[in-house]
Chains A and B, each alone.
Chain A
Amino acid sequence: MGDDSRPAPTVDEERAAVDTAPTDAADADPDARLLVRLRAGDEAAFSELVDRWSAPMLRVALIHTGTRAVAEEAVQDTWLAVLQGLDRFEGRSTLRTWVFRILLYTCRGKAERERRVPPISDVQRSAGEMTGRRAFAEDRFLPSDHPHWPGHWSQPPRSWMRTPDDALLGSELRQHLSQAVAALPERQRQVLVLRDVEGWTSEEVCRLLGVLPGNQRVLLHRARSTVRAALEPYLTVERP
């Protein structure tokens, strides 16, 4: 009780995880056939990939670049870089992971140029975002020296409205949701968007971002906790 922090993984641990991350061989890549066609110069394969992946790429790019125009530019530059690098792609990651990794580098470069922020490594970024906010303010719970119910709710969450999905995503709520996601620290936002918006598996996200599974869960947990808290005022049932 009261031990509220997990041991923070060290920078070395995370770097080691990146280096030794299981490589998914090309034969395990669901897009292996498309890759073969692509290399053979099959334009239909290229346009299929562009059409299938550009939407998620744009959404991921928007996380980093902030504006639609720059995001589109980043996606375009990424596809151009993919063409340039295709002959050298060794299939040590899946095609999708490789393409999105190029996208992240492209976006990072653009964002840094625009905001003139000093570049910091992904590992430093993750480490900085692992700590921080808890799911609830501590005063939502009874103190740890409470005689009967230490650490139990003093103000439990009030129930949320039960609404059908379309009503749930009314424009006001959707706007607040998007703002809450946009306000997340970058690493948390990447993990949350890929996992919960785009529906990627944790393995894929770890591979793309080069984070340990445990760290990925911490980032996801912080992000979901923040977004849940942001939705609270809009979904809590009013008291009569």
Chain B
Amino acid sequence: MTDTDDLACIELVELVTDYLEDALEPDVRARFEQHLPSCPGCEEHLEQVRRTIQVLGALPQDERLSPQTRARLLDAFREWRAHPQPEA
């Protein structure tokens, strides 16, 4: 830990997204990965960010257009098809 190249935790936590996006410079990535095994706090943080992404991805996806709106859109499509060159 006396290595001057070691990342401090306060720096590492701001690099987590770039790490997960594989956008770190190779040398920074190496320092990032070198830091993790010796630091339970940063490992936990990285895990929590991963969990956060996972939970966001599991938000319910049940939005749906009302049948009225859907029907109106299909009407509009038929109208559009019947008049393919609408006046500007």
Chain A contacts to B: CB under 8 angstroms: 1, 4, 41, 43, 46-47, 50-51, 54-56, 58-59, 62, 72, 75-76, 79-80, 83-84, 86-87, 134-136, 138, 141, 149-153, 156-160, 165, 168-169, 173-174, 177-178, 181, 192, 196-197, 199, 202, 213-214, 217, 220-221, 224-225, 227-228, 231-232, 235
Contact = CB atoms under 8 A, between A and B. Distances in A.
Nearest to A138: B10
Contacts of B23: 213-214, 217
A4 B14 contact: yes
B65 A72 contact: yes
B17 to A, nearest CB: 4
29 contacts: A43-B78, A43-B81, A46-B73, A47-B70, A54-B64, A55-B61, A56-B61, A58-B65, A72-B66, A76-B69, A80-B76, A87-B84, A134-B13, A135-B16, A138-B10, A149-B1, A152-B9, A153-B42, A156-B40, A165-B58, A168-B58, A169-B59, A173-B55, A197-B59, A214-B23, A217-B18, A221-B14, A224-B52, A227-B52
Interface of B: 1, 8-11, 13-14, 16-18, 21, 23, 39-42, 44-45, 47-49, 51-66, 69-70, 72-74, 76-78, 80-81, 84-86
B74 to A, nearest CB: 6
A200 B65 CA distance: 21
A62 B74 CA distance: 23
Given A84-B86, A152-B8, A156-B44, A41 B81 contact: yes
Given A55-B64, A76-B73, A168-B55, A217 B14 contact: no
A135 B13 contact: yes
The secondary-structure label for the interface of chain A is helix
Contact of A43 (B39, B59, B74, B86): B74
A152 B54 CA distance: 27
B48 A41 contact: no
Nearest to B4: A1
Nearest to A162: B51
Contacts of A232: 48
Contacts of B78: 43
B17 A221 contact: yes
Nearest to B79: A83
A157 B45 contact: yes
B72 to A, nearest CB: 7
A173 B8 CA distance: 32
